[in-house]
Structure 1
Amino acid sequence: MPETAPVLRRDEDGIASLTLNRPSARNALSMAMMEALLDALDAVDADRSVKVVVLAAEGPAFCAGHDLKELRAIGRNAEGLGAIFARCSQLMQRLQSIRQPVIAKVHAMATAAGCQLVATADLAIAAETARFATPGVNIGLFCSTPMVALTRNVGRKQAMEMLLTGEAIDAAAATRFGLINHAVPAAELDAAVTAMARRIASKSPLTLAIGKEAFYAQVERSTAAAYDYAAAVMTRNMLARDAQEGVGAFIDKREPTWTGC
């Protein structure tokens, strides 16, 4: 696939596939790549026909993290470096703030900010041959921003091992750690991701949006505050037409017809 654009989009059956498209650079997150991905996320968030987003990549790696050549060119310019890392943080938060669930389809190595992408996605399915690492410590640049997403997915001891050693873990370990949902044979990756995306896309888009927003809003709160918040969300959710339709369909033993409102 020619590198015509840093991010490619393909839509089918309510599923938008966003594909990182810098294979010659192992899909490193240059500023241009991050800007393109942010624009793509804004576009799908505004597109009511899209129910699920799949984040994929072209080439020999899923994502090699930040573009080290770009960072070296900036040099010891704190403002320039700060702009890069701030944009990356904005990108990660945007992945979680769009209405649709995001599934990372990881076919190969995901390192540093690439591993951060996987950890940030709502769900992740990887080929059994994929590998994951936060190797910044090996080049004197601790993976501090990837650490934020990593520690919100895996146990502290597992996160510290990855961060302090810089060593890669395989897909089986990533599944045990909670970094990804499933590891499948490489030949079955497309089918596994498509099957999960279609299952999710069959649900009410309004309910998916409410649930995703509520998940991230409650997870950092105390238990009591989370319950108060979640009870208010369920009340608002129950008043929606889709909830009324879903409950009625369940009682009447029929398939629901979602309207997204």
Structure 2
Amino acid sequence: MSDALVTCDVTERIAVLTLNRPGALNALSDAVLAALKDRLTAIAGDDTVKVVVIRGAGKVFCAGHDLKEMQAGRAAADGGAAYFADLFTRCGAVMQLIPRMPQPVIAQVHGIATAAGCQLVAACDMAVAAEDARFGVNGVNIGLFCSTPMVALSRNVPRKQAFEMLTTGEFIPAARAREIGLVNRIASPNRLEAETMALAQTVAGKLGVAVRIGKRAFHEQALMPLDQAYDYTRDVMVENMLERDTNEGITAFIEKRKPDWA
């Protein structure tokens, strides 16, 4: 594997991003966050990529922020206040970039996903986890409430379940993560990559413009009151219907043939 902190491999229109800092449990250092942002930004502008998978090298998916790097920030005259604010702003920007990307993003989780690592899973559109994977927002165990990870987590799972995870600092197994909606699918460890890629390939096989339109609308309407959401998605449906390949897809279905998509 490349020495890059986040590697990128594209196969059959699926981009696989690998957090590549296994010796530090793929902690989200300043450099890793910058590399991940650069990779995601580049892919967002690449129309040839239809799905993105994020995974971790080594034993775990991601162990959260780099605590040693954070502690070093305390050496500043302000005790680290400016550095901490900048760090959490940069991390938040990466987490917000994921739902704004035109391509669906799938987390492939093994080992542990903890604190900002769990936040990264929650920020992705979908997640597939190994049966023995564990998830936690356990900053409270060392005196740091996971307030920024809480944002993505509480938008994925029921409030009481999120609050329990945040206040107890306990890990939950993959099966429980699926029950509460943090994970879509679980697989045996030796099938994790295959199951993740099967999901990615299914999505990549759909009409790209429809998925891009739909992902944008999915996240936008979730922030709106009910009546506004229906008005907005009405216009989105019109936009989608007017696409050349949507017309072809419907016509092909009626005529019982495969669509001739550009």
Q: Report the TM-score when normalising by structure 1.
A: 0.97
Q: How far 1:258 moved relative to its partner?
A: 2.5
For residue 51 of structure 1, report the CA deviation from its aligned partner.
Answer: 0.5
Q: Which residue of 2 aligns with 1:212?
A: 215
Q: 2:204 matched to which residue of 1?
A: 201
Partner of 1:54: 53
- 1:163 maps to which of 163, 166, 170: 166
Q: Deviations over 1:65-85 (max 9, x none)?
A: 111011100012211111100
1:111 CA drift (Å): 0.1
SS at structure 1 position matched to 2:54:
strand
Q: Distance in 2 between matches of 1:123 and 1:255?
A: 28
SS at match of 1:188: helix
Say whether 1:188 aligns with 2:191: yes
Correspondence 1:28 to 2:27: yes
Amino acid of the residue matched to residue 191 of structure 1?
A: A
The yes-or-no answer on 1:18 pairing with 2:21 is no
Amino acid at match of 1:84: L
Matched, 1:97 2:100: yes
Query: Residue in 2 aligned with 1:74?
Result: 73
Distance 1:257 1:149 in 2: 39
Structure 2 match to 1:147: 150
Separation of aligned partners in 2, 1:127 and 1:28? 19
Q: CA deviation at 1:253?
A: 1.0
Cα shift readout 1:173-227 (whole Å, capped 9, x = no counterpart): 0000100001111111111111111110011111111011000000011111110
Unpaired runs of at least 5, structure 1: none
Q: Any idea what SS the aligned residue of 1:125 has?
A: strand
Residue 119 of structure 1 is aligned with which of 119, 122, 128? Answer: 122
**What is aligned with 2:63?**
64
Letter in 1 for 2:67: L
Deviation at 1:15, TM superposition (A): 0.4
Equivalent residue for 1:129, pick from 128, 132, 135: 132
Structure 2 CA distance for aligned equivalents of residues 246 and 43 of structure 1:
29
Residue identity opposite 1:65 in structure 2: G
Return the offset for 1:130: 0.3
Name the counterpart of 1:38.
Answer: 37
**Deviation at residue 257 of structure 1 after TM alignment:** 2.8
1:242 CA displacement:
1.7
Gaps of 5+ in 2: none
Provide the aligned length of Structure 1 versus Structure 2: 258
1:118-149 deviations in Å (ceiling 9; x for gaps): 01100000000100000010111100010000
Partner of 2:248: 245
> Given the alignment of the two structures, is residue 229 of structure 1 paired with residue 232 of structure 2, yes or no?
yes
Structure 2 SS opposite 1:63? coil
How many angstroms apart in 2 are the aligned matches of 1:258 and 1:19? 31
Provide the C-alpha distance between the structure 2 equivalents of 1:92 and 1:232, rounded to a whole number of angstroms: 27
Could you tell me the TM-score, scaled by structure 2's length? 0.97
User: For 1:163 and 1:70, how far apart are their aligned partners in 2?
Assistant: 23
Deviating above 4 A after TM superposition, structure 1's stretches of 4 or more consecutive aligned residues are none
Q: How far apart are the structure 1 equivalents of 2:150 and 2:259?
A: 41
CA distance in 2, matches of 1:221, 1:257: 36
What's the Cα RMSD here? 0.9
